[in-house]
Structure 1
Amino acid sequence: MTQIAGTIMPADIRGQIMRDPTSSSTLPSLVVRMLEDLQVEPESKVLEIGTGTGYSTAVLCARLGEEYVTSIEYDEEVASRARTALGRRGMYPTLVSSDGLLGYAEGAPYDRVIATCGVCTVPAAWIEQTRPGGLILTTIGGWLGSSELARLTVHNDGTATGLLLSGQVSFMLARPHTPPALGLLPDLSEGKEREAIIGTDALNDWTSRFVMQLAAPHAQHLTMERDGHTEHVLVDVESGSWAALYEKDGRWIVRQDGPNAPWDAVEEQLGRWHAAGTPALEEFTVSVTPQGQTITW
Structure 2
Amino acid sequence: MITADQRHAALIDTLVRSGELVDDRLIAAFRATPRHLFIPEAGALTVHGTVLDRRTSPDAWLAAVYADDAIITQVDDGDPARPRGRPTSSSSAPTIVARMLEAADLRDGQRVLEIGTGTGWNAALLAARLGDANVTTLEVDAEVLAGARSALAASGRSPTVHLRDGETGYPPGAPYDRTIATCSVTRVPRAWIEQTRVGGIVVTPWTAMEGAGVLAPLTVAADGSAAGRFRGGLGFMLLRGQRSPDAPSHDIGAEPDETRLVDVDPITPLTEFATAFPITFMVPRWRMGLRRMGTGMGLWLSATDGPSWARVYPYGSVWTVEQGGPRSLWDEVESATAEWNALGSPDQDRFGLTVAPDDRHRVWLDTPNGPGWDFAQPNR
- Provide the TM-score with structure 2 as the length reference: 0.71
The residue number in structure 1 matching 2:288 is 220
Mapping of residues 1-297 of structure 1, within 5 Å: 1-7=72-78, 19-143=85-209, 145-166=211-232, 168-183=233-248, 185-186=250-251, 187-195=253-261, 199-214=266-281, 215-226=283-294, 228=295, 230-248=297-315, 250-289=317-356, 290-297=358-365
Which string of whole-angstrom CA distances, capped at 9 and with x for unpartnered residues, describes residues 8-63 of structure 1?
Answer: 69xxxxxxx85111111122343223211110101111111110010110111111
Q: Give the Å deviation of 1:255.
A: 1.7
Distance in 1 (CA, whole Å) between partners of 2:184 and 2:284 is 18
Counterpart CA distance in 2 for 1:181 and 1:211 is: 24
Question: Which residue of 1 is the match for residue 47 of structure 2?
Answer: none
Instruction: Give 1:2 deviation, angstroms.
Output: 0.8
Q: C-alpha displacement at 1:183, in angstroms?
A: 3.7
Is contact 2:250–2:308 with CA below 8 Å preserved after alignment?
Answer: no
The separation in 1 between residues aligned to 2:120 and 2:297, in whole angstroms, is 43
Q: By how many angstroms is 1:147 displaced?
A: 0.9
Aligned-pair distance for 1:248? 4.0
CA distance in 1, matches of 2:91, 2:257: 44
- Mark the CA change 1:99 to 1:260 in structure 2 (over 3 Å): closer, same or farther: farther
TM-aligned CA deviation for residue 259 of structure 1: 2.7
- In 2 relative to 1, CA 92–119 (structure 1 residues): closer, same or farther, beyond 3 Å? same
Deviation, 1:249, is 5.8
Query: What TM-score results when the alignment is normalised by the length of structure 1?
Result: 0.89
Alpha-carbon distance in 1 for matches of 2:363, 2:92: 26
The runs of 4+ residues in structure 1 deviating greater than 6 Å are none
* Displacement after TM superposition at 1:163 (Å): 0.3
Q: CA separation of 1:159/1:245 partners in 2, compared to 1, >3 Å: closer, same or farther? A: same
SS at match of 2:78: coil
Q: Aligned letter for 1:255? A: E
List alignment gaps of at least 5 residues for structure 1: 10-16
Quick one: distance in 1 between partners of 2:316 and 2:153?
Answer: 64
* Bigger relative contact order (CA 8 A; separation at least 6): 1
Which range is displaced more, 19-28 or 142-151? Answer: 142-151
Number of equivalences: 288
Distance 1:232 1:42 in 2: 49
Instruction: Read off the aligned partner of 1:7 and give its amino acid letter.
Output: G
Report how far residue 194 of structure 1 moved.
Answer: 3.6
- Structure 2 equivalent of residue 14 of structure 1: none
Where structure 2 has 5 or more consecutive residues not aligned to the other structure, the ranges are 1-71, 366-380
Q: Distance in 1 between matches of 2:190 and 2:145?
A: 24
**1:184–1:236: structure 2 CA closer, same or farther, 3 Å change rule?**
closer
- Overall identity of the aligned pairs, in %: 37
Worse overlay, 143-152 or 240-249: 240-249
Alpha carbons of structure 1 residues 218 and 125: separation in structure 2 relative to 1, 3 Å? farther
Q: Secondary structure at the match of 2:293?
A: strand
